[in-house]
Amino acid sequence: MAVNKDYAGRSFAATEPYEVSRVKIAEFATAIGDPNPVYRDRDAAVAAGYPDVIAPPTFPIVVTMAASGQAIADPGLGINYALVVHGEQRFSYARPLHAGDVVTAQSTIETIKTLGRNVVMTTRTEVRTVDGEQVCTAYSTLVERGTAGEAE
């Protein structure tokens, strides 16, 4: 099945509010093997000038994937996720996420292009607190390998 290029430019609804928790941050930090105390110890985080434990720089992907996942899972887009690899990722941060933040993520498919046999899709996902504070923006490039040129 071919990817539907008409989805370029399409925006998706913001996710339900996600509450960033100390437990989830600690779990994530352990999974990436990073022992930094500001991810686990509230006192260490406060001493470093933060209101609570902060999340590692790549943690926002937990929130943004829920939003971009909506796009990927949309049957009208026609992506086979097993064929998808991550091409590029970029974050622009206003500040780190910290425990207690309640945020939503809202994705837009910016471009869908064919590159040889691959389909390359770029998305932009905005992470904001429920009070409207911009926290970070995530830019993802996803590559569906070897499907371009297949019969519609």
Interface with other proteins (CB under 8 A)? 24, 27-28, 30-34, 36-39, 48-50, 54, 56-58, 61-62, 65-66, 81-93, 95-96, 139, 145-146
CB closer to other proteins, 6 vs 90: 90
CA–CA gap between residue 103 and residue 125 (Å, rounded): 12
Q: Are 151 and 3 in contact (CB under 8 A)?
A: no
CB of 61 to other proteins, least distance (A): 5
Rg of the chain (C-alpha set): 17
CB closer to other proteins, 7 vs 28: 28
CB of 50 to other proteins, least distance (A): 6
Q: Note the Cα 44 to chain centre separation in Å.
A: 27
CB of 84 to other proteins, least distance (A): 7
DSSP type of residue 98: B
Any idea what the Cα angle at residue 17 is, between residues 106 and 41, rounded to 5°? Answer: 110
CB closer to other proteins, 14 vs 138: 138
CB of 79 to other proteins, least distance (A): 12
Q: Are 10 and 17 in contact (CB under 8 A)?
A: no
CB closer to other proteins, 8 vs 37: 37
